[in-house]
């Protein structure tokens, strides 16, 4: 068997680079509230969720492709960092930052793998396929569960309102509609328990 050592060197370089994702700290707390999670933990968590919740996908999906998307969707944060979804200023220019980061990170791979990984990442970002919509739904659902199980978590810390969370959770409605009743139940209970502000209700 002839081994292309240059190809293997690039693959190993990419794998070593991936380790840096463990250093990217997100806003969300672990469910025991001991610390904030990192992006590698987040990616592992939702990839496993995809296996557990596969039956709630609205279509017959390519589950392997869903898993691939969830495992690589945040790899670009190695270079671009994690931008908090409710940070209006931080989200300005986010798409361009992440596009350039994708060029840099996936560019470490041999050209054929770089094209494959980039296509998977682009598919997730565009959200046009059933697989991408389901993957995006799980990405939002995981954060909902984290905040609900930490007494409000980042909602409470950053004074987030229910209407903001609903807007953020909307991809679940189309990507995994069977999970939407859970979203509504969590948000209702979160408001009742003071984890989340409901300014609309308070004004009525």
- Return the domain boundaries, the chain: 5-203
Q: Which two tokens stand for residue 57?
A: 């996908």
Q: What does the DSSP assignment read for 147-201?
A: HHTTTTHHHHHTT-BHHHHHHHHHHHHHH-GGGHHHHHHHHHHHHHTTSSB-HHH
The pLDDT mean for the chain works out to 95
The string of pLDDT tens digits covering residues 36-49 is 999 999 999 999 99
The string of pLDDT tens digits covering residues 94-132 is 999 999 999 999 999 999 999 999 999 999 999 999 999
Q: Is the pTM of this model over 0.75?
A: yes
Q: Which CATH class is domain 5-203?
A: mainly alpha
Q: CB of 169 within 8 A of CB of 144?
A: yes
Q: Which two tokens stand for residue 117?
A: 């990984």
What pLDDT score does 136 carry?
A: 98
Per residue in 82-91, is it b (16+ CB within 10 Å) or e — as a string?
Answer: bbebbeeeee
CA distance 150 to 191: 14
**C-alpha pair distances (Å), 5 with each of 9, 107, 115, 186:** 6, 17, 20, 52
The string of pLDDT tens digits covering residues 142-197 is 999 999 999 999 999 999 999 999 999 999 999 999 999 999 999 999 999 999 99
């Amino acid at each position: 068997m002839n081994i292309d050592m240059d190809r293997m060197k690039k693959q190993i370089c990419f794998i070593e680079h991936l380790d840096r994702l463990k250093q990217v700290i997100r806003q969300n707390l672990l469910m025991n509230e001991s610390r904030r999670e990192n992006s590698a933990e987040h990616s592992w968590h939702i990839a496993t969720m995809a296996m557990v919740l596969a039956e709630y996908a609205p279509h017959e999906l390519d589950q392997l492709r869903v898993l691939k998307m969830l495992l690589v969707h945040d790899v670009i944060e190695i270079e671009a960092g994690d931008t908090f979804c409710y940070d209006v200023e931080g989200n300005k220019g986010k798409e361009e930052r992440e596009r350039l980061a994708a060029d840099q990170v996936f560019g470490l791979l041999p050209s054929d793998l770089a094209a494959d990984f980039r296509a998977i990442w682009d598919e997730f970002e565009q959200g046009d396929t059933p697989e991408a919509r389901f993957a995006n739904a799980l990405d939002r659902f995981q954060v909902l569960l984290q905040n609900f199980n930490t007494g409000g978590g980042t909602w409470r810390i950053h004074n987030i309102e229910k209407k903001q969370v609903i807007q953020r959770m909307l991809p679940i409605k189309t990507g995994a509609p069977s999970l939407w009743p859970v979203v509504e139940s969590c948000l209702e209970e979160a408001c009742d328990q003071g984890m989340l502000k409901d300014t609309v209700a308070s004004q009525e």
